[in-house]
Amino acid sequence: MDRNNRRIGGPELPKHRSCAVIDVEQAGEICVVRCRGCLLAGLEADYVDNKVDQIRQQNCTKVLADFREVPAIGSAGIAFIVGVYKSVVRNSGGRMVVAGAGPMVRRVLELTRLTTMIHMADDFESGIAALSADAAAAAAHYDVC
């Protein structure tokens, strides 16, 4: 990071004491959303909204949210997850998996009942497997019919 809170070669990060970074990348048919840092209240809403828009513009129907490096989550993180869920699952009929959530993050997601709508995977590899299994099951269904 340079002294103006910008990643070298990347977009400016939100100016917040517990700076969070959300990177979006395409890995085949799966959109991988790598989150790092605390996704707490105070995280700039524009930053979160821009990331949800980026996912929406990529027409992602399978999203793996990698939370291995997220120690805590608050209203900003919940808003982000719900925004992605709405654009990928509810509006596009896709699938979303949250992978690698630690105990504190998992507890918040359980308390908000997001775990009843979003599949939780213990680690990144199981998240990829869950999304890939959906594709394999759908392909097998169409091969049989």
Q: How many domains does the chain have?
A: 1
Q: Domain holding 94: CATH number?
A: 3.30.750.24
9: its two tokens: 């070669």
**Dist. CA 99–CA 45, nearest whole Å:** 23
Residue 15 in domain: no
Better pLDDT: 4 or 75:
75
pLDDT digits (tens, 9 = 90+) for 76-111: 899 999 999 999 888 788 999 999 999 999 999 999
pLDDT at residue 65 is higher than 60: yes
Considering the entire predicted model, what is its pTM? 0.77
Could you please report the per-residue DSSP string of 67-98?
EEE---B-HHHHHHHHHHHIIIIITT--EEEE
Assess whether pLDDT exceeds 50 at residue 20: yes
Give the domain extent around 115. Answer: 21-144
